[in-house]
Structure formats: C-alpha cells, structure tokens
Structure 1
Amino acid sequence: MKTSFFFVFSLCTLFGFGQNEIVVSPALDVLREFDKVRDFTMDASGSESYFTIQSQTEDVSVISTSSKTGDAWGNPMIASFSGTYKDMEPFFAPDGLRLYFVSNRPLHDSINTPKDFDIWYVERLSTTAAWSQPINMGTPINTEHNEFYPAVAENGNLYYTGDRPDSKGEDDIFFSEFKNGTYSEPISLGESINTEGYEYNAYISKNDSYLIFGGYNRADGQGSGDLYISFKNTSGEWSKAQPLPQPVNSKQMDYCPFVDEATNTLYFTSRRTSNPDGPMHNMQSLVQFLNSYENGNSRLYKANMDVTKLRP
C-alpha cells in the first residue's frame, strides 16, 4: 500500500544507504485527485509545467498546466488551446516560447471530424505572453499515419514516435534534422534504439547528446514497458540502449520520460501498483488500494537521478 511504499524509500534516505540512492515519489501533489495523468514537461525556470489529464476510457484527453509559486505547485487549469479534441504529450521547446503537443483535431476549424494524431504546436512572443492558436507541423513530419510524443533539442532537431510503414517493426523513434530553417525527411533511428517491437515516447536532451525512450516487453526489461537510454558519440552514432535501473523501471508500464536537467530530476509516467499480488481480504483493504496513488492507473512520478552517469 502507499504508506509502506514510501516508508521503504524514506528509510533508505534517512539512514543513508548511499548518497546515490534513487528515490521515486509522486511528481506533483496537486495531481493526486486525478486518477489518470500522464506526460510531463516543464520550462527552464522550473515554474511552469504542462501534462495530460485523461478519463479512464481516454475518450477525454486534455492538456493542463500548473504554475509554481515558491515550492508549491498551484491547482491545474486546462490549457488555453485544449479541451475540445484529444490532446496529449506536451513538450516545451528549450527557449520556452513554443510548446509542442499531439492532437487528433482537424486541420481546419470548418471541419468537425477528428483526424489521425498529428504533431502541433503553439507559440508565444515571451514567457509571460499568451499562447497562439495551434499550428500543425505539416509535412514532412505529419503524414496520413499517427505521429506521437514530440521532443526537440536546442538545435531544433526533432524526435518523435511514428507508426509509419518504414518502421523497423511496430512503432519506432523517428528523427528529423532541423537545418536551414526546415525539417528533413524523417528517418527511423538505428537498431541500437529501434527493434521489431514497440519503441515510443522519446525525450531528447537539450544538447542532443542522449535519448530516453520507452521499449515494450524487451528481454532485458522488468516487464511490460520500460525506460531505456542511449548516448550519441562524437561521430553521431547512438550507443546500444540500456534499461534505466530499478526503482525507476518496474514490472508495470513505465513510460513518458522528461528530464529537468538543471536539477537532475527524471519525471515519468507509470502504472505501477503498491500491492500487485497481495490479497484483498475485505472491502476496506480494497478501497484503500483503489484510492492509493500506486493503484495501477497512469500517474506522474519523479526520481532524483543524474542519467548522464549511465554513459558507457
């Protein structure tokens, strides 16, 4: 149950079982009341965040935002550009002036029928200005297939998930170089990252040097979906992806990474449970489990972790 889960980690910290002990905890206390939350992005100042709140059936998927005052995050609000269609997977550009996201909204307001999922963005003139109306990224990024989970480095290079026919298997991580103000034709990253299975939800570091992404049911994983990291060498080649350690990866689905590089904090989504195999002897224990944070629904977590130390 929730109490025992955090008690274990508290003991590790309290009695100093190692300064590098990885502690996993809920990301934002103000999101505890929402039963299905995923995706997280934050601006460079660490005071403005966006995330996705969904219904259990995911028929409703809304991008919301929260601002931090001091050490406390404020109550979430629906983003100005969201709430009508299925929106998710926000990602801040490093300068904070553009926010990428995924939506099934139609290309034009005159069309009421949702389409496949595309990558969109909103932009603003300053970090205190209002967001523009959503803008579709267009070709060559968006196609008649689905595009998901955009992530952009400081040099403008774009990484995202695609289910295109040129994938190596199922969903792949695709890359498009930003050069001379335009995006190149996307390519599926190499076999050090993509496999015949599912790869998805890539976070790219600001300096374009490492990639954290989700891999499903891999032999070296904990089970279900796990988070993996790959590093780019000086010749531009990616190292063989390695799984992130426990307790970040669990037996349940772990996905949607984001790194606050200023504080070495990893944010991610997980469907972990505090008592996945334990008995439910009475209604009280069942209700307590269902109302706990680790009840198998999508929740946001954070971990103190310098991922750059995993470089081989």
Structure 2
Amino acid sequence: MIKTFVTFLRASTVLVFALFAYHNSMGQSSGLKRVFSLEYDEQHPIIAPDGSLFFTLAFHPDNIGGKSDPGDVWFAPEEDGVFKLPQSIAELSTPFYDLLIGFIDSDTALVYHANLNREQVIIRYFWDGGSWNRDEVVQIPGLKTKGDYFSASLDPGGSFMVMSMDSYGSYGNEDLYISKRNGNTWSRPINLGASINTASQELSPAIGFNGDSLYFSTNASDNEKSIEIYFSMRLDESWRKWSNPKLLKLSEMAGMDMYYFPASENERFFFTNTQTSDDFGNIYYNGVASLKIEEVPSKKEENLENKMEIRSFENANVIKNLYANENVLKSSIEPTLGKTIVGDLKENLATLAVGEGLVLEGLLFQRASVDLVNDKESLNTLDELATYLNDNPEKVISIEGHTDSYGNENVNMRLSLARANKIKELLIERGVQKDRLFTKGWGGKKPIATNSNVAGRMKNRRVEIIFLLNK
C-alpha cells in the first residue's frame, strides 16, 4: 500500500455554533472605491502613522528595475479624504521585489527585499525628516523560505510580525508564521497551526487593529473565487489557537481578493482585487465605516475549533440536481478550510464522511495532456481507489479535475474536465459502476501551490475525489 498526502475538502459544512457574526453590507454598490487609476499591479496596501498609503507597485516604468521590476515601494499622501498622485520611494527599493512590512513607530519601518546582495533579507529603515535611511538587517533566527513568495505584516504596536512563506515547518505550501519582537531582536517564527494553515496556500496576512484578530487570503476553500480573504480570532496568548476562519464577503468583483489591511478599528480597510486578471491588482477601500464585527453569545468554549457537522446528501436525486447542466455544482453552502493528514490510502478513504474528499499526490498529469505522470504510481493509486469503491458499493464520488494557470482559461476548463473523465473511464475499466461517478472541471481556478515554478504547476495539475453520498 502506498503512502499519500491527503487534503480534506469539506465541500458542504456548516458550523454548529459561531463566535462572531459579521454585519456588513459590502458589495459593488456598498461604496467601495478604487484608490488609483494605475494600470500596474498594486499590492500590499499599508496606512502609515501619518495617514499616507504605502504599497508595492510592480512592473511600473519608474521602478528601479523599470518595467521588468516585480515590485518597488510607493506611497501616496492623503489630503481631505483623497489620496494624491503616488510616488516611488527609491531608497526603500531595489531592482527586485520589495515589500514594506510595516512600521515599528512613526520613524522606523521594516522592508523585505527578495534580492539584496543576493539574499532575501528584512531591513530596518529610519526616517530622518527628509528621506529614508537604511539601518540594520533584522535578525530572525530560522527565517528560511523554500519558495519565491513572501508577504508579512506588523501589528499596530510593531511588536508582532505575521509572515506567509513556504518554509521547513509548512503543512504543504505557504503557511502563516508569527514572530515576536524583543527590542531589536525577533523570535524564531512559529507556525500558527492547523486552525489556520492547510496544505494549500495561506497568503497576505494582516493582524487586526487590537492584535486579537487575523486576516489572510487562501485558496483552500471551494468557492468560485480562486483566492479570498478570511478572518479569525486569536483565542489565547500562544498564537496557536484560533477560531474557525470565516469568509469576508468583501465584494462581488471577479478575480482574487488579497492583501486586506484594517486601517482603523472596525472602520476603514483596504484590499487588492485582481478583477479578471491573475496578474494585476487594484487597491480598493471602503472610505468610511462599513464593516462591524459584533460578538455573539456562544456556547461553552471548549473544543471550539472542530465543532462542525457535515451536511448529508439524502439521495441520488440530490446529486443529480447538483451535477445537472454539464456537471456544474450548484451548492451554495460555504465551505470551511481544509486540513492535511498523512497515511495509508485505504485507511484515509475509510475515515471520509459525506462531503469530504482528498487529493492524491501520486495522481499527476503531464502539462496540457490527459496523460498521467509516473504511470506506474498513478495506476497503483487508481487500482487501490477502485478496489475500495468496489468493496464499498454504497459510495458515490465526484471526480474533479484541475490544471495549472498557464494557457487559455477556456482551454484549461475543457482540459480539467477531460482529465476528470479520464479517471472516470479508468475506474469504470476497473469495475466501478458508472452511475456512482460524477465529474467536474475547474481549470486553473483552484490552485493548491504556486504557478511560478515547475514543482508548483505540477501539483496544480491534479484530480480531487469528493465523497458525495452513501447510496
């Protein structure tokens, strides 16, 4: 029996109880404003102590590295509620990717440089009244990244830094880590734990105004948007216990939502939305107080993190309704974020309830093809899955195909469905009844890894299996 990583995809779950309710009228008509009319990639908005808006701007001709520069630090002063024309800050930037993490105080800032003297470093800068000056490298023991993505944010007091990176303690891809400042030194980053992190990507973190809440983006959910922003409350001082993450429905705009920044307590906030592009984002903000978070009386607080129930599909007619019209899933129930376990395939299959699923890492596809990578391992995986299904004839599954983000979106959608149908065909050849197998193609909408390198793209070319019902 092979060993396999399994990603739980709780596609239809509801909370038994909630800690918080969100009263928010946001949407396209809620007064969201686009801050600039720039036609470049705007990332990571931060409001400075003096009210100026700092952000990273990619591929602008005025960047240090010109149009090929993946990100310089820019800022725009605010006057009478309007942000003025943004300007680049050359002294905080390099020809490579640069990100202003936040402010220790009004005159001290931390900036991440992806390549400064051929190293990934965080530098402390100080303001002398007329310009920013480079100070020292921030020493964070154990700060090592395996990937090319990094983002981070400071709490309003400048005492805690939460980071997103693929490091040696990650569950699968980018996870969130916390580090605490003690004078000019920082503690070793600690993984925030399974309440927050999954085998997918947890990105663009921000600590709330009072230091007791966390905002971050992830692609671990089963929503139409590939990446959306979630919110969680810190339950103790360890920074390892968090309430179940809840989706912030910021807008109905297409594209990814990332880089949420709470600029004041329960009032103004900023975030980046890519609209229909996977590459270029625009910064939006709500202008005035629109988001209010009110505490709701809850039950006893023991074992809060896993108090959920799985919604059952009662009969095959429900499945037919869900997967009618070209196999489009029409469930409106919000998913919770997935978790990762390691173990024997048959044993993991036996633990899955209705609405739960898995990703088989040994089942990978060649780029732009329905041909499997490493045929022997893939066929062994299929054999084991078919054996389990034949031994458990009451099980009905959805086979869901995915691609990387390269190429035409419509072509990728067709390819992902073709891959799912290929797996269905192979399972039927192994004796599984056709009416127990449904298929769906997602294209590149739901990546579980970065698309910026070969290893990540290979992970994204996958098939997921979701248990739909017991006949």
Cα distance per residue 1:12-47 (max 9 Å; x no partner)? xxxxxxx9522253342xx3033321221112342x
1: distance between equivalents of 2:278 and 2:143?
A: 35
Which is higher, the Rg of structure 1 or of structure 2?
2
2: distance between equivalents of 1:39 and 1:93?
A: 14
Q: 1:35 is matched with which residue?
A: 40
Q: 2:242 is matched with which residue?
A: 238
1:25 corresponds to 2:8 = no
Q: 2:274 is matched with which residue?
A: 271
Q: 1:193 is matched with which residue?
A: 196
Q: 1:87 to 1:96 in 2, by over 3 A?
A: farther
2: distance between equivalents of 1:191 and 1:255?
A: 21
| SS class of match (2:134) | coil
Is the contact made by 1:122 and 1:132 (CA closer than 8 Å) also made in structure 2?
A: yes
| SS class of match (2:242) | coil
| SS class of match (2:132) | coil
1:73 corresponds to 2:83 = yes
Q: 1:290 is matched with which residue?
A: none
1: distance between equivalents of 2:69 and 2:130?
A: 31
Cα distance per residue 1:131-158 (max 9 Å; x no partner)? 2216432331633645722212216111
2: distance between equivalents of 1:32 and 1:238?
A: 37
Is the contact made by 1:64 and 1:77 (CA closer than 8 Å) also made in structure 2?
A: yes
| SS class of match (1:120) | strand
Q: TM-score normalized by structure 1?
A: 0.72
2: distance between equivalents of 1:42 and 1:141?
A: 29
Cα distance per residue 1:230-289 (max 9 Å; x no partner)? 1012454211111112417x552111111111571221111114xxxxxxxxxxxxxxxx
Q: 1:58 to 1:191 in 2, by over 3 A?
A: farther
**Residues 193-232 of structure 1 correspond to what in structure 2 (within 5 A)?**
193-219=196-222, 221-232=223-234
1:104 corresponds to 2:106 = no
Q: 1:296 to 1:161 in 2, by over 3 A?
A: closer
Q: 2:125 is matched with which residue?
A: 122
The residue type equivalent to 2:76 in the other structure is S
2: distance between equivalents of 1:42 and 1:155?
A: 13
1:297 corresponds to 2:280 = yes
Q: 1:139 to 1:177 in 2, by over 3 A?
A: closer
Is the contact made by 2:127 and 2:133 (CA closer than 8 Å) also made in structure 1?
A: yes
The residue type equivalent to 1:32 in the other structure is S
Is the contact made by 1:118 and 1:148 (CA closer than 8 Å) also made in structure 2?
A: no
Q: 1:263 to 1:206 in 2, by over 3 A?
A: closer
The residue type equivalent to 1:132 in the other structure is N
Q: 2:95 is matched with which residue?
A: 85
Q: 1:246 to 1:92 in 2, by over 3 A?
A: closer
| SS class of match (2:294) | helix
Deviation at 1:75, TM superposition (A): 1.6
Q: Gaps (5+ residues) in structure 2?
A: 1-22, 61-66, 299-471
2: distance between equivalents of 1:159 and 1:295?
A: 24
1: distance between equivalents of 2:142 and 2:211?
A: 19
Q: TM-score normalized by structure 2?
A: 0.50
Q: 2:152 is matched with which residue?
A: 150
The residue type equivalent to 2:263 in the other structure is D
Q: 1:141 to 1:76 in 2, by over 3 A?
A: farther
| SS class of match (2:131) | coil
Q: 1:179 to 1:134 in 2, by over 3 A?
A: closer
Cα distance per residue 1:26-79 (max 9 Å; x no partner)? 342xx3033321221112342x12111112886442111111233332221111
2: distance between equivalents of 1:258 and 1:105?
A: 25
Q: 1:172 is matched with which residue?
A: 175
2: distance between equivalents of 1:121 and 1:35?
A: 27
2: distance between equivalents of 1:148 and 1:124?
A: 25
Is the contact made by 1:40 and 1:91 (CA closer than 8 Å) also made in structure 2?
A: no
Is the contact made by 1:53 and 1:62 (CA closer than 8 Å) also made in structure 2?
A: yes
Is the contact made by 2:213 and 2:234 (CA closer than 8 Å) also made in structure 1?
A: yes
Q: 1:84 to 1:155 in 2, by over 3 A?
A: closer
Is the contact made by 1:254 and 1:270 (CA closer than 8 Å) also made in structure 2?
A: yes
* Consecutive aligned runs of 4 or more in structure 1 exceeding 6 Å deviation: none
Is the contact made by 1:119 and 1:142 (CA closer than 8 Å) also made in structure 2?
A: no
Q: 1:262 to 1:83 in 2, by over 3 A?
A: same
The residue type equivalent to 2:137 in the other structure is N
The residue type equivalent to 2:228 in the other structure is D
The residue type equivalent to 1:137 in the other structure is V
Q: Gaps (5+ residues) in structure 1?
A: 1-18, 108-113, 274-293
Q: 1:308 is matched with which residue?
A: 293
Q: 2:49 is matched with which residue?
A: 44
Deviation at 1:83, TM superposition (A): 4.3
Q: 1:166 to 1:155 in 2, by over 3 A?
A: same
Identity of aligned residues (%): 17
Q: 1:140 is matched with which residue?
A: 141
Q: 1:295 to 1:232 in 2, by over 3 A?
A: closer
Is the contact made by 1:40 and 1:89 (CA closer than 8 Å) also made in structure 2?
A: no
Cα distance per residue 1:138-190 (max 9 Å; x no partner)? 33163364572221221611111121121011000011122465322111111
